[in-house]
Chains A and B, each alone.
Chain A
Amino acid sequence: MIKIKGLKKVYKSGRGKKATSVEAVKGIDLDVAQGEIFGFLGPNGAGKTTTLRILATLLSASDGEATIAGANLRTEPEAVRRLIGFVAQGGGTTDDVTGREEIVLQARMYGIGKAEAEKRAEAALAAFDLTEYADRKCKTYSGGQRRRVDIAMGVIHQPQVLFLDEPTSGLDPQSRAHMWDEIRRLRAEGMTVFITTHYLDEADALCDRIAIIDHGEIVAEGTPADLKREISGDVVTVVVAEEAERAGELLGKESYSNGVEVREDNELRLNVDAGDSAIPQIMRTLEGAGIKLETIELHRPTLDDVFLTKTGRSLRD
């Protein structure tokens, strides 16, 4: 449904000596299949928004090609616009008009006639649980309601692909769960949904497939389950009473450890090949050094561990 090849974006600003350029997206390749929820996971500044805005025809790429539902992004932007919906992270509602007026206008901007636009708005308001607030001004809406109006606007022309930039950032847990349901409903209707997120649980629970992006490059791609399976070994979390730094150093030197990260609150995360045999060895190492162990726990790897393995950093920070 979406094919991206060698997509690049360099932001240039300033002139002469003060000219600076930021390479925000460094040549990415991606294939997104029809009817899947595809997640673009990465920390702030990774290049998610840039990529999405390029795909939504809002920004021109510095290099590379993409086709969306068969339309070429560079040569047929009009066709692409008809085939896709896009919702920016900050949305685009106006304070002084009602949700209904916004949705009708959005439909009409796609060239839909007045009567049809009103009919579709009515249906969209019902589908997104907005009927009750339809005729109240947008400034009176909660964050979640506003976001639902944004998405209703994004799909009012029945696009094949919907791009959502961080659709749940800043929402409370309940609105977030509601939003996930809406996105799943759109997939059930056959839409391909491409979302960006910096939430691990969102990528894990909502997305059929994800690509992890960091510094403008894709570092991993696959289903969340495959990605987690790919990282060999397990993660052991150790909490010590004190001297976490020294414990980290000691454990890092041991042959069973494939990397240690010292976190807040005296917590250490170790990548090990086999957790069950490593645990007794870790306990012995710490005992030998006179460091008191509080808890020790074995986990299956999470997407954060995937990120950590691929980039050497944690996405949580």
Chain B
Amino acid sequence: MKLLRDTWLIFQRHMLLMLRSPLWVVLGVAQPAVYLILFAPLLKPALASVGANTMSDAYKIYVPGMLIALALAGGLYVGFGLLGDLANGVIERSRVTTVSRVALLLGRSLRDVVTVIVQCIIITVLSLPFGVFVNIGSLLLGYAILALCALSSASISYGIAIRVANPSVLGQVVNNIAQPLMLLSGTLLPLALAPLWLRTVADFNPFNWAAKGLRALFIGDTGNPAIWQSIVIAAGLMVVAVIWSARTFSRSVR
């Protein structure tokens, strides 16, 4: 109960801060929006091999990948905010209170999930003119997968931030993690185009599974087992990431 109450309290505070400088949310979608408009058309020939015959089909394969990339990257960079608050005394001032330590991290991570989902909604709306119509049930399920991914990547980022305790090191570590995860999740190009060994490696990347499930949902292939597999895998990753980061955090701050 206390954990829930405190998480809600911290979540509200971070939402308030986000609403006071909404520019960051918009800046976060600028790059995917540009990709959407400029690069996706180039993909139609490339995606033909995986069954994209029309422009709308190509977009239905491309957009889910981009949303997963958004959830992954958006989450992975949140650690800088935590380092900022550790440096400016906000965390210290919270730690002298009886507030739940886990809530301090969880409230913040949930704000990150909301940010990512808002960004995903913006991208979804922007892709409507390209014929990406998805039925509402599938779309909501897709957002759930994205939320799980965002919560995982945010937690991983916080965990690393606490371990390295230095913004420039954090930047390097995050870059080194984000690039392979991004490439190996077929977020920009489906891995169906990749050689077999690369696909085998990618099978160990939870974000790849999430991307597969999201694509099935967008295409309308609702019977595809990739959907439940992606939910189970993303949920599993989320649980592990949240527990790891919460323990790392509570141990470092007592």
* Chain A residues within 8 Å of B, Cβ to Cβ: 56-58, 60, 77-78, 81-82, 84-86, 88, 90-94, 96-97, 101, 105-106, 108-111, 150, 153, 157
Q: In the complex the two chains form, is A91's CB within 8 Å of B89's CB?
A: yes
Given the known interface contacts A92-B93, A94-B90, A153-B93, the answer about A81 and B98 at a Cβ–Cβ threshold of 8 Å is: yes
Q: Taking the complex as formed, is B135 at the interface, i.e. its CB lies under 8 A from any CB of chain A?
A: no
Q: How far is A86 from B99 in the complex, measured between Cα atoms in Å?
A: 14
Of the candidates B6, B16, B90, B98, the one whose C-beta lies within 8 Å of that of A92 is B90
Of the candidates B9, B88, B90, the one whose C-beta lies within 8 Å of that of A108 is B9
Residues of B within 8 A of A157 (CB): 97
Q: In the complex the two chains form, is B17's CB within 8 Å of A109's CB?
A: no
5 pairs, CB–CB < 8 Å, chain A vs chain B: A85-B96, A88-B92, A88-B93, A90-B89, A97-B20
Q: In the complex the two chains form, is B99's CB within 8 Å of A109's CB?
A: yes
Residues of B within 8 A of A108 (CB): 9
Q: In the complex the two chains form, is B95's CB within 8 Å of A58's CB?
A: yes
Given the known interface contacts A96-B20, A101-B16, the answer about A58 and B254 at a Cβ–Cβ threshold of 8 Å is: yes
Q: How far is A78 from B13 in the complex, measured between Cα atoms in Å?
A: 23
Q: In the complex the two chains form, is B13's CB within 8 Å of A105's CB?
A: yes
Q: Taking the complex as formed, is B49 at the interface, i.e. its CB lies under 8 A from any CB of chain A?
A: no
Residues 1-30 (chain B) with a chain A CB within 8 angstroms: 2, 6, 9, 13, 16-17, 20-21
Q: Taking the complex as formed, is B166 at the interface, i.e. its CB lies under 8 A from any CB of chain A?
A: no
Q: Taking the complex as formed, is B94 at the interface, i.e. its CB lies under 8 A from any CB of chain A?
A: yes
Q: How far is A106 from B97 in the complex, measured between Cα atoms in Å?
A: 8
Q: How far is A42 from B89 in the complex, measured between Cα atoms in Å?
A: 23
* Distance (whole angstroms) from the CB of B193 to the closest CB of chain A: 45
Q: In the complex the two chains form, is B90's CB within 8 Å of A58's CB?
A: no
Residues of B within 8 A of A96 (CB): 17, 20-21
* Distance (whole angstroms) from the CB of A138 to the closest CB of chain B: 11
Q: Which residue from chain A places its CB closest to the CB of B21 in the assembled complex?
A: A96
Residues of A within 8 A of B254 (CB): 57-58, 60, 77
Cβ contacts B26-50/A at 8 Å (1 or 0 each)? 0000000000000000000000000
Q: In the complex the two chains form, is A58's CB within 8 Å of B92's CB?
A: yes
Q: In the complex the two chains form, is B98's CB within 8 Å of A109's CB?
A: yes
* Distance (whole angstroms) from the CB of B100 to the closest CB of chain A: 9
Residues of A within 8 A of B13 (CB): 97, 105
Residues of B within 8 A of A101 (CB): 16
Given the known interface contacts A57-B254, A60-B254, A96-B17, the answer about A82 and B92 at a Cβ–Cβ threshold of 8 Å is: no
Residues of B within 8 A of A106 (CB): 93, 97
Residues of A within 8 A of B90 (CB): 92-94
Residues of B within 8 A of A85 (CB): 96
Q: Which residue from chain B places its CB closest to the CB of A60 in the assembled complex?
A: B254
Q: In the complex the two chains form, is B98's CB within 8 Å of A97's CB?
A: no
7 closest A-B pairs by CB: A92-B93, A92-B89, A109-B97, A109-B99, A86-B96, A96-B20, A90-B89
Residues of B within 8 A of A153 (CB): 93
Q: How far is A96 from B89 in the complex, measured between Cα atoms in Å?
A: 15
Q: Which residue from chain B places its CB closest to the CB of A95 in the assembled complex?
A: B88
Known: A81-B98, A86-B96. 15 other contacts (CB 8 A): A58-B95, A81-B97, A82-B98, A84-B96, A88-B93, A92-B92, A93-B89, A94-B88, A94-B90, A97-B17, A97-B20, A109-B9, A109-B99, A110-B97, A150-B93
Residues of A within 8 A of B99 (CB): 109-111
* Residue of A57, A94, A96 with most partner-chain B CB within 10 A: A94
Q: How far is A105 from B254 in the complex, measured between Cα atoms in Å?
A: 20
Q: Which residue from chain B places its CB closest to the CB of A107 in the assembled complex?
A: B97
